Amino acid sequence: MGLFDKLFQSKKIEICAPAKGELVPISNVSDPAFSEEMVGKGVALKPSEGRFYAPCDGTLAVLFPTGHAYCLKSSEGAEVLIHIGIDTVKLEGKCFTIHAKQGDEVKKGDLIVEVDLNGVKEAGYDTITPIIISNPDDFSNLEKKEGNVSAGEAAILLSK
């Protein structure tokens, strides 16, 4: 195996923060489906801005009509769930403006959903946003970041 092959093989796949905010451990999420990693492995984002973007290149496999959650199938095979807030499906789309459609091919940084974060909070919901890899067993390693991030900065690094 040549040097190029080794470099290519060790390339990490970046799943980026979908919005500006603070990355915290997934255990900080109040919903046990996320905090106990029943849905998959990942991190949580405490968003400070309400513009949510594609965290990677891929296909927008699922976009809930309420705008509260979306799933991408990355071009590298990662299945990424972005769930904006906890129990926000109960808002029935209030506070969410959708800018994409299910089935779209998206590039990292494409705007998917805008959220009125203050409206969500005033309605009594937590805006903490799980960023979940729902097929973690397809990867040899999953590295989670923490701390303040801008949209588009690495949140999770995957290795094949």
Catalytic center residues: 83
Q: Which two tokens stand for residue 25?
A: 């451990």
Q: In 10 A of CB 140, how many CB atoms? A: 8
Q: In 10 A of CB 7, how many CB atoms? A: 9
Smallest CA-to-CA distance from 46 within 30, 22, 69 is with 22
> Which residues make Cβ contacts (< 8 Å) with residue 82, sequence separation at least 6?
18, 52, 55, 69, 70, 71, 72, 112, 129, 130, 131, 132
